[in-house]
Chain A
Protein backbone atom coordinates (compact mmCIF):
# COMPACT_ATOMS: atom_id res chain seq x y z
CA UNK A 1 0.00 0.00 0.00
CA UNK A 2 1.94 3.09 -1.15
CA UNK A 3 1.38 5.98 1.18
CA UNK A 4 0.86 9.52 0.05
CA UNK A 5 4.13 11.51 0.11
CA UNK A 6 2.54 14.32 2.11
CA UNK A 7 1.00 11.90 4.57
CA UNK A 8 2.70 11.79 7.97
CA UNK A 9 5.01 8.84 8.54
CA UNK A 10 3.31 8.18 11.85
CA UNK A 11 -0.24 9.24 12.57
CA UNK A 12 -1.82 8.71 15.99
CA UNK A 13 -5.24 9.81 17.26
CA UNK A 14 -6.58 9.03 20.71
CA UNK A 15 -3.94 6.32 20.90
CA UNK A 16 -4.43 4.28 24.05
CA UNK A 17 -2.70 1.33 25.69
CA UNK A 18 -4.14 -0.47 28.66
CA UNK A 19 -2.76 -3.37 30.66
CA UNK A 20 -5.76 -4.71 32.54
CA UNK A 21 -7.05 -1.77 34.56
CA UNK A 22 -3.81 0.20 34.24
CA UNK A 23 -3.70 2.80 31.46
CA UNK A 24 -0.13 3.19 30.20
CA UNK A 25 -0.97 5.55 27.32
CA UNK A 26 -4.11 7.64 27.61
CA UNK A 27 -5.60 8.90 24.36
CA UNK A 28 -2.65 10.75 22.84
CA UNK A 29 -2.53 12.53 19.45
CA UNK A 30 0.61 13.14 17.41
CA UNK A 31 1.99 13.10 13.87
CA UNK A 32 5.56 12.57 12.77
CA UNK A 33 6.59 13.87 9.35
CA UNK A 34 9.04 12.09 7.07
CA UNK A 35 12.65 13.14 7.76
CA UNK A 36 11.74 14.69 11.08
CA UNK A 37 13.40 13.86 14.34
CA UNK A 38 10.77 13.56 16.99
CA UNK A 39 11.08 12.97 20.70
CA UNK A 40 9.00 11.69 23.58
CA UNK A 41 10.28 13.37 26.71
CA UNK A 42 9.13 12.34 30.15
CA UNK A 43 10.02 10.55 33.36
CA UNK A 44 10.06 6.77 33.76
CA UNK A 45 6.56 5.34 33.65
CA UNK A 46 5.13 8.19 31.56
CA UNK A 47 4.11 5.80 28.76
CA UNK A 48 6.98 6.42 26.35
CA UNK A 49 8.06 2.81 25.90
CA UNK A 50 4.48 1.58 25.49
CA UNK A 51 4.00 4.17 22.75
CA UNK A 52 7.21 3.08 21.02
CA UNK A 53 6.18 -0.58 21.14
CA UNK A 54 2.86 0.24 19.53
CA UNK A 55 4.62 2.19 16.76
CA UNK A 56 7.06 -0.69 16.33
CA UNK A 57 4.04 -2.95 15.76
CA UNK A 58 4.90 -5.46 18.49
CA UNK A 59 2.21 -4.37 20.96
CA UNK A 60 -1.43 -4.06 19.85
CA UNK A 61 -3.20 -0.77 20.54
CA UNK A 62 -6.12 -0.81 23.00
CA UNK A 63 -8.08 2.05 21.43
CA UNK A 64 -7.74 4.90 18.97
CA UNK A 65 -6.04 5.06 15.57
CA UNK A 66 -2.43 4.38 14.62
CA UNK A 67 -0.95 4.41 11.13
CA UNK A 68 2.73 3.81 10.43
CA UNK A 69 3.82 4.58 6.88
CA UNK A 70 0.15 4.52 5.99
CA UNK A 71 -0.29 0.97 7.30
CA UNK A 72 -2.27 -0.41 10.20
CA UNK A 73 -0.03 -2.27 12.72
CA UNK A 74 -2.92 -4.58 13.60
CA UNK A 75 -3.07 -6.09 10.13
CA UNK A 76 0.29 -5.25 8.54
CA UNK A 77 2.67 -5.47 11.49
CA UNK A 78 5.18 -7.61 9.69
CA UNK A 79 5.32 -5.27 6.67
CA UNK A 80 5.78 -2.27 8.93
CA UNK A 81 8.52 -3.97 10.91
CA UNK A 82 10.33 -4.73 7.64
CA UNK A 83 10.82 -0.98 7.12
CA UNK A 84 11.54 0.09 10.69
CA UNK A 85 14.74 -0.09 12.73
CA UNK A 86 14.46 -0.59 16.49
CA UNK A 87 16.95 0.24 19.23
CA UNK A 88 15.35 -1.12 22.40
CA UNK A 89 15.98 0.25 25.86
CA UNK A 90 17.95 -2.84 26.87
CA UNK A 91 20.44 -4.37 24.46
CA UNK A 92 19.17 -7.59 22.90
CA UNK A 93 22.43 -8.69 21.30
CA UNK A 94 23.36 -12.35 21.00
CA UNK A 95 26.35 -12.77 23.32
CA UNK A 96 27.16 -16.18 21.87
CA UNK A 97 27.91 -14.66 18.46
CA UNK A 98 30.59 -12.26 17.25
CA UNK A 99 29.99 -8.58 16.51
CA UNK A 100 29.77 -9.21 12.78
CA UNK A 101 27.62 -12.34 13.14
CA UNK A 102 25.12 -10.28 15.11
CA UNK A 103 24.73 -7.99 12.11
CA UNK A 104 24.61 -10.80 9.58
CA UNK A 105 21.96 -12.90 11.32
CA UNK A 106 19.84 -9.81 11.90
CA UNK A 107 19.98 -9.08 8.18
CA UNK A 108 18.78 -12.63 7.60
CA UNK A 109 15.71 -11.99 9.75
CA UNK A 110 14.75 -9.44 7.11
CA UNK A 111 15.32 -12.03 4.39
CA UNK A 112 18.19 -10.07 2.81
CA UNK A 113 20.58 -11.88 0.51
CA UNK A 114 23.86 -12.92 2.07
CA UNK A 115 26.09 -10.91 -0.30
CA UNK A 116 24.06 -7.77 0.28
CA UNK A 117 24.19 -8.28 4.05
CA UNK A 118 27.97 -8.66 3.87
CA UNK A 119 28.32 -5.34 2.06
CA UNK A 120 26.02 -3.53 4.49
CA UNK A 121 27.64 -5.14 7.54
CA UNK A 122 31.06 -3.81 6.53
CA UNK A 123 29.65 -0.31 6.06
CA UNK A 124 27.77 -0.41 9.34
CA UNK A 125 30.80 -1.67 11.27
CA UNK A 126 32.66 1.32 9.89
CA UNK A 127 29.80 3.67 10.78
CA UNK A 128 29.63 2.30 14.32
CA UNK A 129 33.44 2.40 14.63
CA UNK A 130 33.54 -1.31 15.37
CA UNK A 131 35.46 -2.59 12.34
CA UNK A 132 38.40 -3.67 14.50
CA UNK A 133 36.11 -5.62 16.82
CA UNK A 134 34.21 -7.39 14.01
CA UNK A 135 35.45 -10.87 14.92
CA UNK A 136 35.21 -10.42 18.70
CA UNK A 137 32.57 -11.77 21.02
CA UNK A 138 29.92 -9.26 22.08
CA UNK A 139 30.11 -9.91 25.82
CA UNK A 140 33.36 -8.05 26.65
CA UNK A 141 32.43 -4.90 24.66
CA UNK A 142 31.89 -1.67 26.62
CA UNK A 143 28.39 -0.32 27.12
CA UNK A 144 28.94 2.35 24.48
CA UNK A 145 30.20 -0.20 21.94
CA UNK A 146 27.23 -2.51 22.55
CA UNK A 147 24.91 0.43 22.06
CA UNK A 148 26.62 1.36 18.79
CA UNK A 149 26.37 -2.26 17.66
CA UNK A 150 22.65 -2.25 18.50
CA UNK A 151 22.23 0.90 16.41
CA UNK A 152 24.25 -0.58 13.55
CA UNK A 153 22.10 -3.70 13.74
CA UNK A 154 18.91 -1.65 13.59
CA UNK A 155 20.14 -0.11 10.31
CA UNK A 156 20.82 -3.38 8.46
CA UNK A 157 17.45 -3.20 6.65
CA UNK A 158 18.07 0.47 5.68
CA UNK A 159 14.97 1.59 7.60
CA UNK A 160 13.01 4.71 6.79
CA UNK A 161 12.08 5.05 10.42
CA UNK A 162 14.38 4.47 13.38
CA UNK A 163 12.85 3.99 16.83
CA UNK A 164 15.26 4.65 19.70
CA UNK A 165 14.10 3.93 23.24
CA UNK A 166 16.38 5.71 25.73
CA UNK A 167 19.36 5.41 23.38
CA UNK A 168 22.04 6.74 25.75
CA UNK A 169 20.75 5.85 29.20
CA UNK A 170 23.55 4.46 31.33
CA UNK A 171 26.40 5.67 29.11
CA UNK A 172 29.23 7.95 30.17
CA UNK A 173 29.32 11.47 28.65
CA UNK A 174 31.96 10.66 26.06
CA UNK A 175 30.07 7.61 24.80
CA UNK A 176 26.86 9.64 24.67
CA UNK A 177 28.42 12.37 22.54
CA UNK A 178 29.81 9.81 20.12
CA UNK A 179 26.36 8.25 19.84
CA UNK A 180 24.68 11.60 19.30
CA UNK A 181 27.13 12.32 16.52
CA UNK A 182 26.18 9.05 14.78
CA UNK A 183 22.47 9.75 15.18
CA UNK A 184 22.92 13.26 13.84
CA UNK A 185 24.53 11.81 10.72
CA UNK A 186 21.57 9.51 10.20
CA UNK A 187 19.22 12.45 10.53
CA UNK A 188 21.20 14.29 7.87
CA UNK A 189 20.80 11.30 5.57
CA UNK A 190 17.04 11.72 5.86
CA UNK A 191 16.24 8.88 8.27
CA UNK A 192 13.23 9.72 10.41
CA UNK A 193 14.23 9.40 14.07
CA UNK A 194 11.75 8.85 16.86
CA UNK A 195 13.29 8.65 20.30
CA UNK A 196 12.36 8.62 23.93
CA UNK A 197 14.52 10.17 26.56
CA UNK A 198 14.45 11.61 30.01
CA UNK A 199 17.58 13.63 29.30
CA UNK A 200 16.95 17.27 28.46
CA UNK A 201 20.24 17.77 26.68
CA UNK A 202 19.57 14.75 24.50
CA UNK A 203 16.16 16.06 23.47
CA UNK A 204 17.63 19.49 22.76
CA UNK A 205 20.48 18.04 20.72
CA UNK A 206 18.53 15.58 18.61
CA UNK A 207 14.86 16.56 18.36
CA UNK A 208 13.33 18.95 15.86
CA UNK A 209 10.09 18.58 17.71
CA UNK A 210 8.97 16.79 20.82
CA UNK A 211 6.08 16.03 23.06
CA UNK A 212 6.33 16.10 26.82
CA UNK A 213 4.62 13.10 28.39
CA UNK A 214 3.51 12.79 31.96
CA UNK A 215 1.26 10.13 33.51
CA UNK A 216 0.26 8.56 30.20
CA UNK A 217 -0.71 11.86 28.55
CA UNK A 218 0.91 14.45 26.32
CA UNK A 219 1.14 17.71 28.25
CA UNK A 220 2.91 19.90 25.68
CA UNK A 221 4.22 19.79 22.15
CA UNK A 222 6.64 21.89 20.09
CA UNK A 223 10.28 22.40 19.16
CA UNK A 224 12.64 22.58 22.16
CA UNK A 225 12.91 26.32 21.60
CA UNK A 226 9.18 26.92 21.30
CA UNK A 227 8.55 24.98 24.46
CA UNK A 228 11.12 26.99 26.37
CA UNK A 229 9.68 30.26 25.07
CA UNK A 230 6.15 29.21 25.87
CA UNK A 231 6.63 27.69 29.29
CA UNK A 232 9.73 29.32 30.66
CA UNK A 233 11.71 32.56 30.66
CA UNK A 234 14.90 33.25 28.75
CA UNK A 235 17.10 32.80 31.80
CA UNK A 236 17.07 31.19 35.22
CA UNK A 237 18.94 32.22 38.33
CA UNK A 238 19.62 29.22 40.60
CA UNK A 239 20.18 30.19 44.22
CA UNK A 240 21.40 27.94 46.98
CA UNK A 241 20.87 29.04 50.56
CA UNK A 242 22.14 27.56 53.78
CA UNK A 243 19.58 25.23 55.40
CA UNK A 244 18.59 27.70 58.17
CA UNK A 245 18.09 30.60 55.73
CA UNK A 246 16.06 28.49 53.31
CA UNK A 247 13.43 27.94 56.01
CA UNK A 248 12.59 31.64 56.35
CA UNK A 249 12.54 32.57 52.68
CA UNK A 250 8.75 32.50 52.29
CA UNK A 251 7.58 35.62 50.54
CA UNK A 252 10.94 37.39 50.63
CA UNK A 253 11.61 36.66 46.95
CA UNK A 254 8.21 37.76 45.66
CA UNK A 255 8.24 40.15 42.74
CA UNK A 256 11.91 39.68 41.89
CA UNK A 257 11.23 37.28 39.02
CA UNK A 258 8.32 36.28 36.80
CA UNK A 259 8.15 32.99 38.63
CA UNK A 260 9.83 31.49 41.68
CA UNK A 261 10.23 27.72 42.21
CA UNK A 262 11.27 26.35 45.59
CA UNK A 263 13.04 23.01 45.19
CA UNK A 264 14.36 20.96 48.11
CA UNK A 265 17.97 21.97 47.44
CA UNK A 266 17.66 25.31 45.64
CA UNK A 267 15.45 28.18 44.55
CA UNK A 268 14.89 28.95 40.87
CA UNK A 269 14.14 32.51 39.75
CA UNK A 270 12.63 32.61 36.27
CA UNK A 271 13.44 35.93 34.60
CA UNK A 272 14.45 37.17 31.18
CA UNK A 273 17.43 38.86 32.82
CA UNK A 274 18.86 36.41 35.33
CA UNK A 275 21.71 38.66 36.46
CA UNK A 276 19.28 41.46 37.34
CA UNK A 277 17.14 39.04 39.35
CA UNK A 278 20.19 37.78 41.20
CA UNK A 279 21.35 41.28 42.15
CA UNK A 280 17.82 42.16 43.30
CA UNK A 281 18.10 39.26 45.74
CA UNK A 282 21.27 40.79 47.20
CA UNK A 283 19.58 44.21 47.41
CA UNK A 284 16.94 42.67 49.66
CA UNK A 285 19.70 41.67 52.04
CA UNK A 286 19.58 37.96 51.23
CA UNK A 287 22.90 36.13 50.97
CA UNK A 288 22.65 32.96 48.86
CA UNK A 289 25.66 30.63 49.19
CA UNK A 290 25.89 30.21 45.43
CA UNK A 291 24.29 31.90 42.44
CA UNK A 292 24.20 30.39 38.96
CA UNK A 293 22.60 32.21 36.04
CA UNK A 294 21.87 29.95 33.06
CA UNK A 295 19.61 29.72 30.04
CA UNK A 296 16.27 28.00 30.42
CA UNK A 297 16.19 24.33 29.38
CA UNK A 298 13.56 21.68 28.82
CA UNK A 299 14.04 20.68 32.45
CA UNK A 300 12.43 24.00 33.37
CA UNK A 301 9.61 23.36 30.93
CA UNK A 302 8.94 20.04 32.54
CA UNK A 303 9.04 21.50 36.04
CA UNK A 304 6.56 24.16 34.99
CA UNK A 305 4.22 21.69 33.35
CA UNK A 306 4.19 19.01 36.00
CA UNK A 307 5.51 20.63 39.15
CA UNK A 308 8.12 17.89 39.34
CA UNK A 309 11.70 17.35 38.25
CA UNK A 310 12.26 15.01 35.36
CA UNK A 311 14.80 12.75 37.05
CA UNK A 312 13.54 11.86 40.47
Chain B
Protein backbone atom coordinates (compact mmCIF):
# COMPACT_ATOMS: atom_id res chain seq x y z
CA UNK B 1 0.00 0.00 0.00
CA UNK B 2 1.14 3.50 -0.81
CA UNK B 3 0.31 6.22 1.71
CA UNK B 4 -2.20 8.76 0.50
CA UNK B 5 -0.87 12.26 -0.05
CA UNK B 6 -2.03 14.72 2.56
CA UNK B 7 -3.66 17.85 1.36
CA UNK B 8 -6.37 20.22 2.33
CA UNK B 9 -6.96 22.03 -0.90
CA UNK B 10 -10.26 21.17 -2.55
CA UNK B 11 -8.44 20.33 -5.80
CA UNK B 12 -6.18 18.01 -3.83
CA UNK B 13 -9.17 16.09 -2.45
CA UNK B 14 -10.30 15.26 -5.98
CA UNK B 15 -6.75 14.12 -6.76
CA UNK B 16 -6.86 11.96 -3.64
CA UNK B 17 -9.95 10.17 -4.92
CA UNK B 18 -8.28 9.26 -8.20
CA UNK B 19 -5.24 8.10 -6.27
CA UNK B 20 -7.37 5.86 -4.04
CA UNK B 21 -8.97 4.29 -7.13
CA UNK B 22 -5.57 3.82 -8.76
CA UNK B 23 -4.16 1.93 -5.77
CA UNK B 24 -6.29 -1.05 -6.80
CA UNK B 25 -4.70 -1.43 -10.21
CA UNK B 26 -1.25 0.08 -9.88
CA UNK B 27 0.64 -3.24 -9.85
CA UNK B 28 -0.60 -4.24 -13.29
CA UNK B 29 -0.14 -0.74 -14.65
CA UNK B 30 3.43 -0.41 -13.35
CA UNK B 31 4.36 -3.64 -15.10
CA UNK B 32 3.06 -2.42 -18.43
CA UNK B 33 4.68 1.01 -17.96
CA UNK B 34 8.09 -0.69 -18.04
CA UNK B 35 7.35 -3.48 -20.48
CA UNK B 36 5.69 -1.54 -23.25
CA UNK B 37 8.50 0.99 -23.92
CA UNK B 38 11.12 -1.76 -23.71
CA UNK B 39 9.25 -3.85 -26.28
CA UNK B 40 8.68 -0.90 -28.61
CA UNK B 41 12.30 0.24 -28.52
CA UNK B 42 13.56 -3.31 -29.09
CA UNK B 43 11.27 -4.02 -32.03
CA UNK B 44 11.20 -0.64 -33.77
CA UNK B 45 14.45 0.93 -32.66
CA UNK B 46 16.87 -1.99 -32.53
CA UNK B 47 15.12 -4.45 -34.86
CA UNK B 48 13.69 -2.23 -37.59
CA UNK B 49 16.42 0.37 -37.04
CA UNK B 50 19.10 -2.09 -38.20
CA UNK B 51 17.53 -1.93 -41.68
CA UNK B 52 17.71 1.86 -41.81
CA UNK B 53 20.66 2.53 -44.09
CA UNK B 54 23.50 4.81 -43.16
CA UNK B 55 22.53 7.18 -45.97
CA UNK B 56 19.16 7.68 -44.31
CA UNK B 57 20.88 8.28 -41.01
CA UNK B 58 22.20 11.61 -42.30
CA UNK B 59 18.67 12.93 -42.77
CA UNK B 60 17.94 11.87 -39.18
CA UNK B 61 20.61 14.32 -38.06
CA UNK B 62 23.47 11.88 -37.94
CA UNK B 63 22.14 9.72 -35.10
CA UNK B 64 21.03 6.08 -35.02
CA UNK B 65 17.42 5.32 -35.80
CA UNK B 66 16.95 4.14 -32.20
CA UNK B 67 18.16 7.50 -30.84
CA UNK B 68 15.91 9.30 -33.32
CA UNK B 69 12.83 7.18 -32.57
CA UNK B 70 13.01 6.84 -28.76
CA UNK B 71 12.14 10.45 -27.75
CA UNK B 72 9.40 10.55 -30.40
CA UNK B 73 7.84 7.43 -28.92
CA UNK B 74 8.09 9.00 -25.48
CA UNK B 75 5.99 11.99 -26.58
CA UNK B 76 3.55 9.76 -28.48
CA UNK B 77 3.09 7.46 -25.48
CA UNK B 78 2.32 10.48 -23.29
CA UNK B 79 -0.29 11.52 -25.86
CA UNK B 80 -1.94 8.10 -25.90
CA UNK B 81 -2.03 7.64 -22.12
CA UNK B 82 -3.31 11.15 -21.59
CA UNK B 83 -6.05 10.74 -24.20
CA UNK B 84 -7.27 7.55 -22.58
CA UNK B 85 -7.25 9.09 -19.08
CA UNK B 86 -9.18 12.10 -20.38
CA UNK B 87 -12.01 10.16 -22.00
CA UNK B 88 -13.51 7.21 -20.09
CA UNK B 89 -12.74 8.30 -16.50
CA UNK B 90 -14.16 11.80 -17.13
CA UNK B 91 -17.37 10.68 -18.80
CA UNK B 92 -17.67 7.77 -16.35
CA UNK B 93 -17.57 10.08 -13.34
CA UNK B 94 -20.39 12.13 -14.85
CA UNK B 95 -22.53 9.36 -16.37
CA UNK B 96 -21.68 5.87 -15.17
CA UNK B 97 -21.10 6.00 -11.42
CA UNK B 98 -21.84 9.73 -11.15
CA UNK B 99 -19.13 10.21 -8.55
CA UNK B 100 -18.47 13.76 -9.75
CA UNK B 101 -22.07 14.56 -8.87
CA UNK B 102 -21.46 13.05 -5.43
CA UNK B 103 -18.40 15.29 -5.03
CA UNK B 104 -20.35 18.35 -6.10
CA UNK B 105 -22.83 17.73 -3.26
CA UNK B 106 -19.93 18.52 -0.88
CA UNK B 107 -17.84 21.73 -0.70
CA UNK B 108 -15.99 20.53 -3.84
CA UNK B 109 -16.77 22.73 -6.88
CA UNK B 110 -16.91 21.78 -10.57
CA UNK B 111 -13.66 23.71 -10.99
CA UNK B 112 -11.99 21.55 -8.33
CA UNK B 113 -13.19 18.40 -10.11
CA UNK B 114 -11.82 19.61 -13.44
CA UNK B 115 -8.44 20.70 -12.07
CA UNK B 116 -8.10 17.73 -9.71
CA UNK B 117 -8.53 15.34 -12.62
CA UNK B 118 -6.00 17.22 -14.75
CA UNK B 119 -3.57 17.16 -11.83
CA UNK B 120 -4.07 13.42 -11.56
CA UNK B 121 -3.42 12.96 -15.28
CA UNK B 122 -0.26 15.07 -14.95
CA UNK B 123 0.93 12.83 -12.11
CA UNK B 124 0.24 9.67 -14.10
CA UNK B 125 2.09 11.14 -17.09
CA UNK B 126 5.07 12.08 -14.94
CA UNK B 127 5.39 8.49 -13.80
CA UNK B 128 4.95 7.05 -17.31
CA UNK B 129 7.40 9.53 -18.84
CA UNK B 130 9.99 8.96 -16.10
CA UNK B 131 9.89 5.19 -16.64
CA UNK B 132 10.08 5.62 -20.41
CA UNK B 133 13.04 8.01 -20.10
CA UNK B 134 14.84 5.59 -17.81
CA UNK B 135 14.42 2.85 -20.46
CA UNK B 136 15.75 5.22 -23.16
CA UNK B 137 18.85 5.80 -21.08
CA UNK B 138 19.26 2.06 -20.40
CA UNK B 139 19.06 1.39 -24.17
CA UNK B 140 21.86 3.91 -24.63
CA UNK B 141 19.57 5.95 -26.86
CA UNK B 142 20.01 9.30 -25.11
CA UNK B 143 22.79 11.55 -26.39
CA UNK B 144 22.52 14.34 -23.81
CA UNK B 145 21.93 14.67 -20.06
CA UNK B 146 19.18 17.12 -21.05
CA UNK B 147 17.09 13.97 -21.63
CA UNK B 148 15.92 14.42 -18.02
CA UNK B 149 13.97 17.47 -19.19
CA UNK B 150 12.22 15.30 -21.77
CA UNK B 151 10.10 14.07 -18.83
CA UNK B 152 8.34 17.43 -18.24
CA UNK B 153 8.22 18.01 -22.00
CA UNK B 154 6.36 14.71 -22.41
CA UNK B 155 4.00 15.60 -19.55
CA UNK B 156 3.15 18.90 -21.25
CA UNK B 157 2.60 17.05 -24.52
CA UNK B 158 0.15 14.71 -22.81
CA UNK B 159 -1.69 17.56 -21.09
CA UNK B 160 -2.01 19.41 -24.40
CA UNK B 161 -4.20 16.47 -25.46
CA UNK B 162 -5.80 15.64 -22.10
CA UNK B 163 -7.25 19.08 -21.38
CA UNK B 164 -9.21 19.60 -24.64
CA UNK B 165 -10.23 15.92 -24.85
CA UNK B 166 -11.50 15.98 -21.25
CA UNK B 167 -13.48 19.12 -22.11
CA UNK B 168 -15.13 17.15 -24.92
CA UNK B 169 -15.62 14.02 -22.76
CA UNK B 170 -17.52 16.11 -20.19
CA UNK B 171 -20.17 16.86 -22.81
CA UNK B 172 -20.76 13.21 -23.78
CA UNK B 173 -23.40 10.81 -22.46
CA UNK B 174 -22.02 7.69 -24.17
CA UNK B 175 -18.48 6.67 -25.16
CA UNK B 176 -19.53 6.22 -28.81
CA UNK B 177 -17.58 9.17 -30.14
CA UNK B 178 -14.39 8.38 -28.26
CA UNK B 179 -13.41 5.78 -30.84
CA UNK B 180 -13.47 8.56 -33.47
CA UNK B 181 -10.99 10.57 -31.42
CA UNK B 182 -8.62 7.65 -31.42
CA UNK B 183 -9.31 6.56 -35.00
CA UNK B 184 -9.18 9.95 -36.71
CA UNK B 185 -7.07 11.89 -34.21
CA UNK B 186 -4.65 10.00 -32.02
CA UNK B 187 -3.65 7.19 -34.40
CA UNK B 188 -2.88 9.40 -37.46
CA UNK B 189 -0.94 11.79 -35.25
CA UNK B 190 0.98 8.91 -33.77
CA UNK B 191 2.04 7.88 -37.27
CA UNK B 192 2.56 11.25 -38.98
CA UNK B 193 3.83 13.76 -36.42
CA UNK B 194 7.50 13.07 -36.79
CA UNK B 195 7.58 10.14 -34.39
CA UNK B 196 8.84 7.50 -36.84
CA UNK B 197 10.36 9.64 -39.59
CA UNK B 198 11.24 13.34 -40.00
CA UNK B 199 8.41 15.58 -41.07
CA UNK B 200 10.43 16.62 -44.14
CA UNK B 201 9.60 13.18 -45.62
CA UNK B 202 5.95 14.24 -45.86
CA UNK B 203 4.54 16.09 -48.92
CA UNK B 204 5.20 19.81 -48.55
CA UNK B 205 1.52 20.79 -48.29
CA UNK B 206 1.04 18.54 -45.24
CA UNK B 207 3.95 19.95 -43.28
CA UNK B 208 2.27 23.18 -42.10
CA UNK B 209 -0.65 21.07 -40.83
CA UNK B 210 1.67 19.38 -38.37
CA UNK B 211 2.22 22.74 -36.72
CA UNK B 212 -1.41 22.71 -35.66
CA UNK B 213 -1.06 19.47 -33.70
CA UNK B 214 0.39 19.33 -30.21
CA UNK B 215 2.26 16.09 -30.88
CA UNK B 216 4.53 17.69 -33.48
CA UNK B 217 5.66 20.31 -30.94
CA UNK B 218 5.99 17.67 -28.24
CA UNK B 219 8.16 15.42 -30.40
CA UNK B 220 10.34 18.37 -31.43
CA UNK B 221 10.97 19.18 -27.77
CA UNK B 222 11.59 15.67 -26.45
CA UNK B 223 13.87 14.87 -29.41
CA UNK B 224 15.80 18.11 -29.09
CA UNK B 225 16.35 17.39 -25.40
CA UNK B 226 17.26 13.73 -25.80
CA UNK B 227 19.71 14.40 -28.62
CA UNK B 228 20.96 17.65 -27.10
CA UNK B 229 20.30 19.51 -30.36
CA UNK B 230 17.96 21.90 -28.57
CA UNK B 231 20.90 24.12 -27.59
CA UNK B 232 21.50 24.90 -31.29
CA UNK B 233 18.15 26.62 -31.62
CA UNK B 234 16.68 27.63 -28.25
CA UNK B 235 14.28 30.15 -29.81
CA UNK B 236 12.60 27.43 -31.80
CA UNK B 237 12.31 25.30 -28.68
CA UNK B 238 10.58 28.17 -26.95
CA UNK B 239 8.02 28.36 -29.76
CA UNK B 240 7.25 24.66 -29.32
CA UNK B 241 6.89 25.13 -25.58
CA UNK B 242 4.55 28.09 -25.99
CA UNK B 243 2.47 26.12 -28.50
CA UNK B 244 2.00 23.28 -25.97
CA UNK B 245 1.13 25.71 -23.19
CA UNK B 246 -1.44 27.37 -25.43
CA UNK B 247 -3.16 24.02 -26.09
CA UNK B 248 -3.16 23.30 -22.35
CA UNK B 249 -4.53 26.73 -21.43
CA UNK B 250 -7.31 26.66 -24.05
CA UNK B 251 -8.22 23.05 -23.16
CA UNK B 252 -8.31 23.77 -19.44
CA UNK B 253 -10.53 26.78 -19.94
CA UNK B 254 -12.90 24.68 -22.08
CA UNK B 255 -12.93 21.90 -19.47
CA UNK B 256 -13.86 24.37 -16.71
CA UNK B 257 -16.81 25.50 -18.83
CA UNK B 258 -18.10 22.06 -19.87
CA UNK B 259 -17.63 20.47 -16.44
CA UNK B 260 -19.50 23.27 -14.68
CA UNK B 261 -22.29 23.26 -17.25
CA UNK B 262 -22.73 19.51 -16.99
CA UNK B 263 -22.75 19.30 -13.18
CA UNK B 264 -25.07 22.24 -12.72
CA UNK B 265 -27.55 20.82 -15.22
CA UNK B 266 -27.58 17.54 -13.29
* A56-B21 contact given A92-B99, A94-B97, CB 8 Å threshold: no
Cβ contact within 8 Å between A58 and B105: yes
Cβ contact within 8 Å between A111 and B105: no
Interface size on B, residues (CB 8 A): 23
Q: Is the interface of B mostly helix, strand, loop or mixed?
A: helix
Residues on B with C-beta less than 8 A from A153 are: 102
Q: Of A56, A93, A97, which is within 8 A of B105 by CB?
A: A56
Interface residues of A in 40-92 (CB under 8 A from B): 53, 56, 58-60, 77-79, 81-82, 84, 86, 88, 90, 92
Residues on B with C-beta less than 8 A from A88 are: 98, 101-102, 105
CB distance from A112 to the nearest CB of B (A): 10
User: Once bound together, how far apart are the Cα atoms of A56 and B106, in whole Å?
Assistant: 9
Interface residue tally on A, bucketed by range? 20 to 34
A53, A90, A111, A157: residue with the most chain B Cβ atoms closer than 10 Å: A111
A101 at the interface (CB under 8 A from B): yes
User: Once bound together, how far apart are the Cα atoms of A157 and B13, in whole Å?
Assistant: 15
* A109-B98 contact given A58-B264, A58-B266, CB 8 Å threshold: no
Measured CB to CB, the nearest residue on chain A to B25 is A96
* A86-B97 contact given A94-B21, A97-B20, A109-B13, CB 8 Å threshold: no
Interface residues of B in 96-149 (CB under 8 A from A): 97-99, 101-109
Residues on A with C-beta less than 8 A from B8 are: 111
* A109-B266 contact given A94-B97, A95-B97, CB 8 Å threshold: no
Cβ contact within 8 Å between A53 and B266: yes
CB distance from B266 to the nearest CB of A (A): 6
* A111-B102 contact given A59-B264, A81-B107, A92-B97, CB 8 Å threshold: no
Cβ contact within 8 Å between B16 and A108: yes
Residues on B with C-beta less than 8 A from A60 are: 264
- Chain B residues within CB distance 8 Å of chain A: 8, 10, 13, 16-17, 20-21, 24, 97-99, 101-109, 263-264, 266
20 contacting pairs across A/B (C-beta < 8 A): A58-B263, A59-B266, A81-B105, A81-B106, A82-B106, A86-B105, A90-B98, A92-B101, A92-B102, A93-B102, A94-B17, A95-B97, A101-B20, A106-B106, A109-B13, A109-B103, A109-B106, A110-B106, A111-B8, A111-B13
Starting from the known contacts A79-B107, A92-B99, A92-B102, 19 additional A-B residue pairs (CB-CB under 8 Å) come to A56-B105, A58-B104, A58-B264, A58-B266, A59-B264, A59-B266, A81-B105, A88-B98, A88-B102, A88-B105, A92-B98, A92-B101, A94-B97, A94-B99, A96-B24, A97-B20, A101-B20, A106-B102, A109-B13
